[in-house]
Amino acid sequence: MPELVGGGVLGLLAGYLKVRFGTSEVISTVMLNYIVIYILAYLLDGGPWMESGLTVAYHQSSPVNPLLEWPILLGQGSGKMHIGFILALAAAAFCAVLLERTSLGYEIRAFGSNPTALRFRGTNIRRLLLVVMLMSGALAGLAGAGELFGASHRLRAETLLGIGSSGIVVAMVGGLRPSGVMLAALFFGALKSGAIYMRLKSGTPAGLVSAMEGLVLLFFLCAAVATKLQLVRIEEKVHA
């Protein structure tokens, strides 16, 4: 579908900036998010994609064709679960098999731990990075398709705000593993969904969820560092 192609192209662009100029993929993808947001704002605010018939400027497109909406599995209204959940599970399973059972997955894991050794092994590091960024962008495009055709049913520029930073937090808390990322994504998704009702029922500040995300990530990183320090101390005792 076009969303996978568009996401793959953007991921490939970030990968090219990395291999050509050494630009951090985190910085380049975050900056590309803002470029995409401003392009969407131009297209949706009085542009060709703006919903017809609006008397005031509002950044949204017309609703998608009902025939293109993704099937609903459970629930109704804002609490519905569409087939995108199944696709997300399938994507996580695909990534797990790719990383653990294929030669490409071995190279990806080796690149994350010791790229210098992988280069001496004869692997084309630049090509590997481009492939990884292409697949990552395609998966991001699939997630965007789920938001458009499964949830909101219309395109809004503000939908992209904050997704990149939340994705980094989810990946870190999930231990950079597909299974862990699934659990972490469910946890933080519940936080964000519950924040809407918390504001309506009790007037909870909107920034509370972001603060909780930061605290969870902080405690997780501290626990990881403490675990490593404990292992070092045990090794020192054994050598002593």
Quote the pLDDT of residue 92.
94
Q: What is the rounded distance in angstroms from the CA atom of residue 69 to the CA atom of residue 26?
A: 32
Q: How far apart are CA 4 and CA 126, in angstroms?
A: 22
Residue 54 has pLDDT above 70, yes or no: no
**What integer best gives the mean pLDDT of the chain?**
83
Q: Calculate mean pLDDT across residues 22-44.
A: 87
82: phi then psi, degrees, rounded to nearest 5: -105, 180
Residue labelled with tokens 């919903």: 51
Cα–Cα nearest to 168, from 237, 216, 131: 216
Which tens digits make up the pLDDT trace of 109-167? Answer: 998 888 888 888 888 999 999 999 999 999 999 998 998 898 888 888 777 676 777 88
Closest CA to 157 of 61, 65, 62, 84: 61
| Cα separation of the two ends of the chain | 61
Beta bridge partners of 168: none
pTM of the model: 0.83
Match 């492939």 to its residue by tokens.
131
Mean pLDDT of 182-193: 86
- Only one residue has tokens 């002593």, namely 240
Predicted confidence (pLDDT) per residue in 60-119, tens digit? 788 888 898 999 888 766 567 889 999 999 999 999 999 999 999 999 999 888 888 888
Question: DSSP letter at 74?
Answer: E
